[in-house]
Structure 1
Amino acid sequence: MTSLDSLIQENPPLAREFLQQLSKVFRYVLKNKEKGLVSLETELNFIKNYVALLKTRFGDSLSINFNISDEVLDLHIAPVTLQILIENALKHNITNLANPLSISILNQNNYLIIENKIQLKKQVETSNGQGLNNLKSLYSFLSEKEVLIESNGTFRVKIPLI
């Protein structure tokens, strides 16, 4: 909302576009919050609206790249999984023009992979360390395959496609 407030004064046409994207994000969350699963295609359509909001805020200091095969679009994930993982990357990593953050979203072997180069912030203000654990717990009920987390210069989370 703070971003929208400043855009209203600085760039009304961009503020209008931001508000339209924001309303799509809210609509998706309200419509799907009670669902256990959504198709990957539905989640990707939602996350592209969310990414548009982030690009308004972060500009060229953030890039999110998608490389998803068409054959997995009908598989399922829990709603807002991608939003949680993108927010996690933004919360823990430096994101500025000198150190742009690049997040890749791809699929491999019936997993959705979200990865970024590690460029940790010195201090994370609002982290309780439970976000990824909650996601792992949720997927333990949804799939026999577990959420996999790897960290070796690149932080990678693998979400089973259902």
Structure 2
Amino acid sequence: MLYQDQADSLLIKRPALKISHAAIWISSIFLGLLSSVPQIAEHHFNAAEAAVNAGLTAAFSVLMWYFNIYMLSRRPGQSRKQSISYSRLFGSLAFGLAVMLGLACIQQLILSHINFGPVMLMVEVRGILINLVFYMFLHMLRQNYENQHVTMELERIKNDNLSAQYELLKQQVNPHFLFNSLNTLKAMVETGDKEAVDFILKLSNFYRFTLESRKLDLIHVHEEMEILNAFLFLQKARFDGGFTFESTLSDRALGTLIPPFTLQLLVENCIKHNIVALSKPLHIKVYEENGAIIVENQVQPKTGEHNSLGVGLKNIDLRYNHLLNRHIDIINGQKIFQVKLPLIHEHHHH
């Protein structure tokens, strides 16, 4: 419905029908010469009659070209119709009959020796056929031109909508742990924890990364790891050894590309949906396998959890679909939870 409404709105700016003047004149002269072929084939060929006949037919063709272009181009603000406008068709035919009648009278004045009745009938039939061909050709040309115009505009609107949706997706990547981080910082300051200054610096760096990266579609994985390390420092200060993290990504994998905050969101999901405690630490691993970066953790759901994938995973999947037309793989087993992210190589992306 959205695209249909937008398509209808595009009709207000419908492009004017344009035909080359050279094409109009050349085709008209050709039709004039073609109309004289039967006379050339006669035994008693009369050059004057053939010339007059060709000239009148060419003049009629030129007039009907421009008249039909005017008829089909006027009132561009009205709704477009895929079917033929019979009122315009009949109007064009009536105008053509009147013009051809006038030209037949001129022919009779120039060539007074010919029988006016049969000649008038012949030229009128010829005029109707020429007029119908011109009208149908211009009608199909206009429909094709308008369809191409609307298709291009809809593609542009679709791309604009996708870009807007993607910007909204990026805006969703906003850490939800600020409140908890500030509470942790308050507790560290009150107890005189020596790492309070480092905590403030890491928190500052994390939000600096947030502001710098949210404008980008892709960043290098090693930059994403800097964001993740700042996030992990803040979480370790909060949970005090309640989880472990291990990354074995190769230099090759670190040189690939990734949507900003992808790994951070996945690790945040691990911590959010699983028990994190000294008595039962959560183990999180990031590694490369079969052309994908894998984020893995053992499953130890919190009480009341219902295996919700949450907004974070949907956000990541939509971003990969937008950028690569591919989806991430989610393996939700009884003991292990994995998310596989397709590697994005820089030269492939360009």
* Number of equivalent positions: 161
| 3-state SS of 1:13 partner | coil
Counterparts of 2:262 and 2:274 in 1: how far apart (Å)? 18
Mapped pair 1:130 → 2:315? no
1:58, distance to aligned residue in structure 2 (A): 1.1
Q: Residues 109-148 of structure 1, C-alpha deviation per residue, up to 9 Å, x if partnerless?
A: 2211100000011225xx7833212211111112244200
Q: Which residue of 2 aligns with 1:46?
A: 227
Q: How does 1:140-155 map to 2 (within 5 A)?
A: 140-152=321-333, 153-155=335-337
Q: Which residue of 2 aligns with 1:55?
A: 236
| 3-state SS of 2:338 partner | strand
Q: Which residue of 2 aligns with 1:118?
A: 299
Mapped pair 1:94 → 2:275? yes
Counterparts of 1:19 and 1:96 in 2: how far apart (Å)? 24
Q: Which moved more, 1:76-85 or 1:10-19?
A: 10-19
**In the superposition, relative to structure 1, how do residues 128 and 46 fare at CA in structure 2: closer, same or farther (>3 Å)?**
closer
Mapped pair 1:160 → 2:345? no
Counterparts of 1:59 and 1:156 in 2: how far apart (Å)? 24
Counterparts of 2:309 and 2:246 in 1: how far apart (Å)? 28
Contact 1:94 1:121 in 2 (8 A): yes
Q: Residues 30-89 of structure 1, C-alpha deviation per residue, up to 9 Å, x if partnerless?
A: 001110000001101221111111111112211111110111211100000111111111
Q: Which residue of 1 aligns with 2:103?
A: none
| 3-state SS of 2:241 partner | helix
| Pairing partner for 1:77 from 258, 264, 275 | 258
| 3-state SS of 2:217 partner | coil
Counterparts of 2:261 and 2:212 in 1: how far apart (Å)? 11
Larger radius of gyration: 2
Structure 1 length-normalised TM: 0.93
**In the superposition, relative to structure 1, how do residues 61 and 11 fare at CA in structure 2: closer, same or farther (>3 Å)?**
same
1:161, distance to aligned residue in structure 2 (A): 1.8
1:155, distance to aligned residue in structure 2 (A): 0.2
Q: Which runs of 4+ in 1 moved over 4 A?
A: none
| 3-state SS of 1:150 partner | strand
Q: Which residue of 1 aligns with 2:186?
A: 5
Mapped pair 1:104 → 2:285? yes
Segments of structure 1 that go 5 or more residues without pairing to the other structure are none
Structure number with higher helix proportion: 2
Aligned partner of 1:5: which letter?
K
Question: Identity, % of aligned pairs?
Answer: 32
| 3-state SS of 2:269 partner | helix
Structure 2 length-normalised TM: 0.44
Segments of structure 2 that go 5 or more residues without pairing to the other structure are 1-181, 345-350
